[in-house]
Amino acid sequence: MMKRFITVAIAILLVALMVAPAFAAEKSPGGLPTVPTKNDLPDPKAEDSEDRYFVEDEKEIYVRAEDYTGELAYFPEDEAPVKYELIKKFDPWTKGKDGDALFASNAPFEKFDSVLIDKNVVDAANYTAASGSTEVTFTKAYMETLSVGEHEIVIKSTDGFAKGTFKVLELAPSETPRTGDSSNTFMWVAISLVSLGAIGVVAFALAKKRKSAEN
């Protein structure tokens, strides 16, 4: 009886050992490379790193994606940042000439989080945000503080971001505003004409007086 029990037990153990790998394989979807924990994920910047891994202890697929700062990292598949598009941008923007600058992401406005220029968060006092899908309008005063050259803009949402670049240009010499305006110019032209007229009248009167004296 005991021998039969031992024999059955050994048979069950052997079957379990044969079946277990099959169950384990099912837990690694699509034959993805597997790591025990997320701490065992490789360096996402390494050339030989895969784009997707199955993390055993979480039973979760991790994907390699870029975050809003431009860094590569591994995220749970359902938490990877959404890459939205920059659908409007004021490019180029010229100092001393252009006014407020509108940029827009196709992300839903209710997910709007913040705006970054050159990886620095912009104070909300320097722009207005509105729906359509997400429109950000920088004030002229803020745009004037940016240096001449190319800049990176990120419109960050709670679940992703839209990223792009734009240029700030210096005002061309031919476009430099002149002092005064056309009304001032007209005024000075009018004064000059009146002065010339007055001089002509005086000269005519003196000439007439001299001619009368000679007669």
When pLDDT is averaged across residues 85-99 and rounded to a whole number, the result is: 97
Q: Say what percent of the chain tops pLDDT 90.
A: 65
Residue the block writes with tokens 């406005």: 109
pLDDT value of residue 13: 52
- For residue range 31-44, list pLDDT tens digits in order: 899 999 999 999 99
Asked if 115 contacts 161 with a C-beta cutoff of 8 angstroms, the reply is no
Strand, coil or helix: 160: strand
Task: List the domains of the chain with CATH numbers.
Answer: 2-81 (no CATH), 83-173 (2.60.40.10)
Predicted TM-score (pTM) of the model is: 0.68
- Name the band, by pLDDT with cuts 50, 70 and 90, for residue 30: confident
When pLDDT is averaged across residues 111-120 and rounded to a whole number, the result is: 98
When pLDDT is averaged across residues 113-128 and rounded to a whole number, the result is: 98
More confident residue, 28 or 119: 119
Q: Choose the weakest-confidence range: 20-24, 129-133, 145-149, 196-200.
A: 20-24
Asked if 107 contacts 84 with a C-beta cutoff of 8 angstroms, the reply is yes
When pLDDT is averaged across residues 13-42 and rounded to a whole number, the result is: 68
